[in-house]
Structure 1
Amino acid sequence: MPVALIIGVGAAIGSATATRLAAAGYKVAVASRTQRLDPSKFPFFEFDAAELTKVPDLFKKVRQEVGVPEVVIYNAYASARTDGSSVLDMDSPEAFQKRMNVNTLSPTVVADEAVKGFLELESQGKLGPSGATFMFTGNALNDKTLPGFFSLGIGKSAAAYMVEFLALHAHNDKPFSFYYVDERFPDGRPMYKGATDDAHATVFLELAQSPQQGPWQYTFSKEKGYAVFSKDWTL
């Protein structure tokens, strides 16, 4: 049974995706600060994405207790609500650093650990016909700057660069795929509220089961599926 690891499992996208992958035959491990799902069905690993030095330990535990993941989804994020005194969301350097850990640094270390596992599975002939897949839950902030989203925008933009680099320049001779998954409204506007759990779960499963690298910046809407949207949108 192939193993999937989802990091950042709340009551919405993460839980819906875990349920969908399990129904498709994956053994799904979940990692987050709070346990949301039945641990008898979804092995739970307590994990705070702000502590990036704990990422290798997380993967070690998952490997030992569940198996080496061939699908890894990073769904954690951190945003800021400040009093407006700083246009850069700089409530404090320490808080800003934690948000960068969650949005950029931890997912980069997660991707590195994921690829180590992918290489191990391939060398042992244990990869399934779909290969291995790393996916990051993104949004439109890597395409356009918006007021009120400074630290989240920096984090998403850096993570998008990381995913693009992996998709275009790393392990191109391997059956590995990398995606920055970004849901939009049908007209291309960003969906910062109201992201659809079932649509994300469907896309994550489809990408996990696809043996070929598709567009690394996987923009989609529930109505249209994958689409290339104009960047000339307004809120």
Structure 2
Amino acid sequence: MSAVPYRTALIVGAGPGISASVARQLAQAGLKVGLAARSIDRLAPLASELGAARYSVDARDPAAVATLFERMDAEVGVPDLVLYNASGRVRGPIAELDPDAVRHAIEVSAFGGFLVVQQAVRRMLPRRHGAILLTGASASVKGYPNSSAFAMGKFALRGLAQSAARELAPAGIHVAHFVIDGGVRSDSRADPADQPDSTLDPDAIAQSYLDMLRQPRNAWSWELALRPWVEHF
């Protein structure tokens, strides 16, 4: 298996599940890892396990995101791999949603993604090398009832990924968007006994992220949809 062609990774929106599994596999591949989230207390065990740096950030704040990258540059190294895994949710009928809550959700899912991508690109363009991964969801391509805010944010993040991939691939920067089209397994969400492998295993998802990073540049994918084998298309 070919090596991951990157040296330093920053994961924004880090936590248990997908981002933790990706962080572990990146560390196993020899990358230095930085973990960023709004609240970093829950990141302590993972950071200790991996020897990773922790950073508190509000991804909606341009100044905070710029500071995050400056600290990462100085303390860990300039990231040549960046994963945006943050998202905002607010559920309810459209007529009853709080506009401020909807704004907040869209800012986390989409505007925060833009801010992180922008800072990453400013570092990667001079080197003409890097990878940017964006975590989407079923809502990236399918709007569900009572989930309009999440769909708006994830649709926007997918648009950012598609535009950035076309703009940045010729500069040597691989941008990839992942549609996580199904429930992700966790301590609170186990597979039913009569339906094994009916949820997405975060370690298996992470393996697909690393496989994407190993793609040769003459055959880069900009998007990958992942779903359990029992999911209906």
Alpha-carbon offset, residue 97 of structure 1: 1.7
Other-structure match for 1:64? 74
Instruction: Say if 2:174 is the partner of 1:177.
Output: yes
Other-structure match for 1:87? 94
Q: What TM-score comes out, normalization by structure 2 length?
A: 0.80
| 2-structure distance, mates of 1:13, 1:103 | 16
Distance change >3 Å, CA 38–CA 219, structure 1 → 2 = same
Alpha-carbon offset, residue 121 of structure 1: 3.1
* Gap regions ≥5 residues in structure 1: 123-130, 185-190
Structure-to-structure mapping, 1:213-228, within 5 angstroms: 214-221=220-227
Residue identity opposite 2:83 in structure 1:
I
Other-structure match for 2:40? 34
| 1-structure distance, mates of 2:86, 2:169 | 27
CA contact (8 A) 1:80 1:89 kept: no
Distance change >3 Å, CA 65–CA 148, structure 1 → 2 = same
Other-structure match for 2:55? 45
Other-structure match for 2:26? 21
- Provide the secondary structure at the position in 1 that maps to 2:171: coil
Alpha-carbon offset, residue 59 of structure 1: 0.8
* Gap regions ≥5 residues in structure 2: 1-5, 186-199
Residue identity opposite 1:10 in structure 2:
G
CA contact (8 A) 1:88 1:150 kept: no
Count how many residue pairs are aligned between Structure 1 and Structure 2: 208
Residue identity opposite 2:212 in structure 1:
L
Q: What TM-score comes out, normalization by structure 1 length?
A: 0.80
Identical aligned residues as a percent: 25
Distance change >3 Å, CA 89–CA 62, structure 1 → 2 = farther
Distance change >3 Å, CA 65–CA 89, structure 1 → 2 = farther
- Provide Cα deviations, 1:140-184, integer angstroms capped at 9, x if missing partner: 22322210210000000011011000112x133222111111133
Structure-to-structure mapping, 1:1-235, within 5 angstroms: 2-32=7-37, 33-35=39-41, 36=43, 37-39=46-48, 41-82=51-92, 86-87=93-94, 90-91=97-98, 93-122=99-128, 131-168=129-166, 170-184=167-181, 191-194=182-185, 195-212=200-217, 214-221=220-227, 233=233
| 2-structure distance, mates of 1:147, 1:6 | 30
Instruction: Flag the structure with higher helix content.
Output: 2
Residue identity opposite 2:120 in structure 1:
A
